[in-house]
Structure 1
Amino acid sequence: MRALTWHGEQDVRVEDVPRPQIVNPNDAIVEITATAICGSDLHPYNDNIPGMREGDILGHEPMGEVVEVGEGVETLEAGDRVVVPFTISCGECWFCQRDLYSLCDNSNPNAEMAREVMGQSPAGLFGYSHLLGGYAGGQAEYLRVPYADVGPIKIESDLPDEQVLFLSDIFPTGYMAAENADIEDGDTVAVWGCGPVGQFTIQSAQMLGADRVIAIDRVPERLQMAREHGDAETIHFEEEDVYDTLMAMTGDRGPDACVDAVGTEAHGTGLAGVTDRAKQEVGLESDRPHVLREAITCCRKGGTLSVPGVYTGDVDGIPFGSLMNKALSVESGQTHVQRYLDPLLGKIEDGEIDPSFVVTHQEPLEKGPEMYQTFNDKDDGCIKVVLTP
């Protein structure tokens, strides 16, 4: 089969690889009909995720048709149309039983490797390094799905792929980010990053009762999308001082909640931005936490900081004294996707949201390497890429 494979920094190739087989009784094999490039995929693309190996198959936002199931699978059969969550979860451990699916105790076969880095292992993830299981990803013609009774959601309507595909990750991720922001009716929410996760965070914050959403980015197309589809007020961070502007917009109080939808590769400005890049280059920090610092500083006293943006290791210069003395609450984590599948599919079917609004590029899988570069460079107005094998 054809698949997108990782070969080092900014080196993604389309190659022939073996088609996956049933390994365990709870496996299913899915023939992929649509798969997306996620902002999180740019972290391994830029070699910022530990544990990648040459030839790893990328991708964690797939959907398609079940073509084979193991003898232990009870809820799926060949012919079912499914969206596959990026989190791999057993459904039975202490964490899964509490709907904390991205913290599954059983789905990462390399848990000891993760424990050495993080203290504990989160769940295994598709296409996201051997630190998180070494599972082949979904940017391919076929995908092996472990714990198939727990992960995939069946799509029994005739909604097109691009309307339901993002249940795999970015719609639940944006929704959980907004939920974690502890939004009350009338709140003002600031969202750093107007990529796909940021766009869904903006709309989800409004679904949850926010009165105002202020979106922060530097890419004109992303800011325009936030205004047109999310009814957000916007700040171009290279043209305005974010702190001063937010204070002016909120009567000097600050936003009630701040969401870091950027993560490890934040583009900082001024001396702090230059310093972060220099430290990252020489290994003094693994992530560039400019947005995290800014969000802590800008958030109102007693407010909430929500962090859906992916971080991979150590960060420097975090104003923890500000966080503590302002009594901020912090919520973070990989998304517990399975928790949100049914309710968010219902919102799509009811017409409350059409997630396809983020799609700017649809191309065949063979153009995957080109699309990675375009997405990474933010060229051609690229906000979200969907690939069809």
Structure 2
Amino acid sequence: MAILKAFKAVRPRKDIACKVAELPYDVMNSEEAREIAKDNIYSFLHVDKAEIDLDKNIDIYDGKVYEKANENLNKMIKDNILVQDEKNNLYIYKLTMNGKSQTGVVGCTSVDEYLNDKIKKHEYTRKDKEQDRINHVDICDANTGPIFLTYRYNDKISSIINNWVKKEPVYDFTAADGVKHQVWVIEDDETIENICELFRKVDALYIADGHHRAASAVKVAIKRRRENPNYSGNEEFNFFLSVLFPDSDLNIIDYNRVVKDLNGLSAEKYISEVSKKFDVEIYKGQGPFKPSHKGTYGMYMGRKWYKLTAKEGTYDPVDPVERLDVSILQNNLLGPILGIDDPRTNDRISFVGGIRGLVELEKRVEREDKGVAFSMYPTTLDELMSIADAGKVMPPKSTWFEPKLRSGLFVHKLK
């Protein structure tokens, strides 16, 4: 069972939706956000990265930042930049990148289903990042960014969605990065109930992206429940903003690694150690080496690309986490050879989403002139779901989803 709830979205006027919508707060730093929003009073970064409207030296976790976010959100509503719908609706959100589309249903999902693991996770969250969003949600009294959920394809749900998107969208624009965004409003109560009933027959939902946003929304709900011991369970704070996409629509791209140095090893000794667990060959093709199947890796060092192939016996084929390519690399190379004990906290490793291209790996290695980079084969959605179903957790930086959902197109008020 998956609970999906219609809600009264706070959303942009049609004529300025393209100016409001922005990438998620966590894919940019404060300086980048200031640059993006500096000439755009409509930018939702004034809410999601409110430090851009305060002194440049302010701590991004300062209470003033959250108060400013709330002030800016209320001002956008007062100024009619954002308008709340008069009735509970569902919405359809379609994103198209490089000719491939993904189409999801926008609604609210259940805090209790998150707590009961009907909404399944595959990542740990960091307390500092979680607390940041707890403060943001609580003080703004709203979910300002959607949780990216997926579910196993359901032909009846897709049939309803495919018929609805034949209508004219309320929003239709292409962002600066070339991604096309379209939104439809489902106002028909019968259609809303049909969709919600079909989701009640879905076994589970999976968090694809947005673990910190989801965990924070749930912590705020728990706080509100303590403050309101007679809560009924129907209050808006018991639900959080989500976009639900069928797994057949989604695209995970590679999430690559760069290590600053060889952990004190010479290049010859390093290659010798790597060769114990991987077959190593110099790549003689054109350009960077991009793995085309599991168990293979590109490695860039000394201005050369190498192809690595994991040898037999380097992982447990039964364990869904241990057989991930990111785990094989971590357990057989990054940890024991390069000394990256905890990739979550070690400052010698960085991660580069494949959207930036493999040439970015070359640039980063050549900047240091003594490091090494690894191009990865993408984790699959089946692997993600298998790990979540097993109640296990993926290694950090295992998945990178594109395109990114825009913030500002939908806001869910908690009361």
> Would the TM-score normalized by the shorter structure come out above 0.5?
no
TM-score of the pair, normalised by structure 1: 0.29
Larger relative contact order, structure 1 or 2 (CA cutoff 8 Å, min sep 6) = 2
TM-score of the pair, normalised by structure 2: 0.28
Q: Which has the larger radius of gyration?
A: 2
Which is strand-richer, 1 or 2?
Answer: 2
